[in-house]
């Protein structure tokens, strides 16, 4: 697999990445840092977040972290930590969401539905509102929210998760329409990446994992840094200055809209 990068494309940028301790969030943070961005990493997994942050700082990157439970209505105030560290914020990546995994639609308990929506669209909504005046003051910015094929296509037994991800996509389109005049771009990325969940699937159900691989045109699962992170970095950078209100399916050709 080839790797690709745009060195220094994010020099001078300051960004926040939620759910950044591991998986896709960590990959996105790595891609931003390697292109020169300063990044605030947030996650609820305090020990994992500390290890990830240390890994980045030991490599010479400008990374700081804050432990946050996005179900907390005051979690958006964590943006203050980025202001304290960097002086401004011109990039926000809403990646974090909690999900219990596959549950038949009729069996989804109310508490699971609320948990997915609290950590997904509600947290995304609060963080977008909180960062808006900061980006306006900075002269503009870019927000990337993470969607999912669970919503754009529909995935069996992921009703709560699909609803949360489509709520995020709907909000993103409205914000893109309203905030363009402020120089703020809002886009959505729907990834297919080698996450911890897919690694478990690979080990526990290799035939099902292979069916996922075969569903892609490129016949491979995306790398969180080189494939997903690279696209997010592009969207946060100046090369994407005329791109907003879009959903990008970064999935190796597996996705479609119904």
pLDDT of residue 164: 96
pLDDT more than 90, % of the chain: 80
pLDDT of residue 256: 63
Structure tokens at 88: 């401004």
pLDDT of residue 14: 98
Distance CA 144, CA 91 (A): 8
Q: Looking at the predicted structure, is the pLDDT value of residue 15 above 80? A: yes
Other beta carbons less than 10 A from residue 28's beta carbon: 33
Distance CA 90, CA 135 (A): 6
68 confidence band (pLDDT: 50, 70, 90): very high
| Residue 4 vs residue 163, higher pLDDT | 163
Place of tokens 């526990």: 204
Structure tokens at 13: 């940028």
257 confidence band (pLDDT: 50, 70, 90): low
* CB distance 90 to 40 below 8 Å: no
Q: Looking at the predicted structure, is the pLDDT value of residue 26 above 80? A: yes
pLDDT of residue 72: 86
DSSP 17: E
Place of tokens 């119904």: 258
Is 161 an active-site residue?
yes
Strands 63-67 and 184-191, how do they pair? unpaired
Q: Average per-residue pLDDT in the chain?
A: 93
pTM: 0.94
CA angle 179, 181, 184 (to 5 degrees): 50
Query: What dihedral angle (degrees, nearest 10) is formed by the CA atoms of 26, 31, 37, 39?
Result: 0
pLDDT (average), residues 26-37: 98
**DSSP per-residue codes, 145-203:** EE--HIIIII-TTBHHHHHHHHHHHHHHHHHHHHHGGGTEEEEEEEE-B--HHHHHHHH
Give per-residue pLDDT as tens, 205-247.
899 889 989 999 999 999 999 999 999 999 999 999 999 999 9
pLDDT of residue 3: 59
| Residue 54 vs residue 70, higher pLDDT | 54
pLDDT of residue 159: 94
Q: Looking at the predicted structure, is the pLDDT value of residue 115 above 70? A: yes
Nearest to 158 by CA among 100, 243, 119: 100
* CB distance 216 to 254 below 8 Å: yes
Taking the chain, what is the end-to-end CA distance rounded to the nearest angstrom?
A: 30
Nearest to 14 by CA among 235, 236, 227, 186: 236
pLDDT (average), residues 171-187: 98
Specify the DSSP element, H or E, that contains 144: strand 141-146
Catalytic member of 4, 161, 209, 242: 161
Structure tokens at 176: 């893109």
């Amino acid at each position: 697999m080839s790797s690709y990068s745009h060195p220094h494309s994010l020099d001078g940028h300051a960004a926040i990445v939620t759910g950044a301790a591991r998986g896709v969030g960590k990959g996105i943070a790595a891609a931003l840092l390697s292109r020169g961005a300063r990044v605030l990493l947030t996650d609820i997994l305090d020990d994992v977040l500390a290890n990830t942050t240390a890994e980045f700082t030991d490599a010479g990157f400008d990374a700081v972290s804050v432990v946050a439970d996005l179900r907390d209505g005051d979690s958006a105030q964590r943006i203050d930590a980025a202001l304290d560290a960097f002086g401004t914020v011109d990039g926000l990546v809403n990646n974090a969401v909690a999900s219990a995994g596959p549950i038949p639609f009729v069996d989804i308990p109310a508490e699971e539905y609320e948990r997915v929506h609290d950590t997904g669209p509600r947290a995304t909504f609060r963080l977008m509102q909180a960062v808006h005046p900061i980006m306006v003051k900075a002269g503009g910015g870019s927000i990337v929210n993470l969607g999912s094929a669970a919503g754009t296509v529909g995935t069996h037994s992921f009703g709560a998760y699909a609803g949360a991800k489509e709520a995020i996509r709907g909000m993103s389109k409205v914000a893109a329409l309203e905030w363009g005049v402020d120089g703020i771009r809002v886009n959505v990325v729907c990834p297919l990446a080698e996450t911890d969940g897919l690694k478990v699937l690979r080990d526990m159900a290799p035939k099902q994992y292979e069916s996922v691989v075969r569903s892609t045109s490129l016949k491979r699962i995306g790398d969180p840094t080189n494939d997903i992170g690279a696209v997010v970095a592009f969207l946060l950078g100046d090369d994407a200055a005329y791109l907003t209100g879009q959903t990008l399916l970064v999935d190796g050709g597996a996705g479609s809209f119904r």
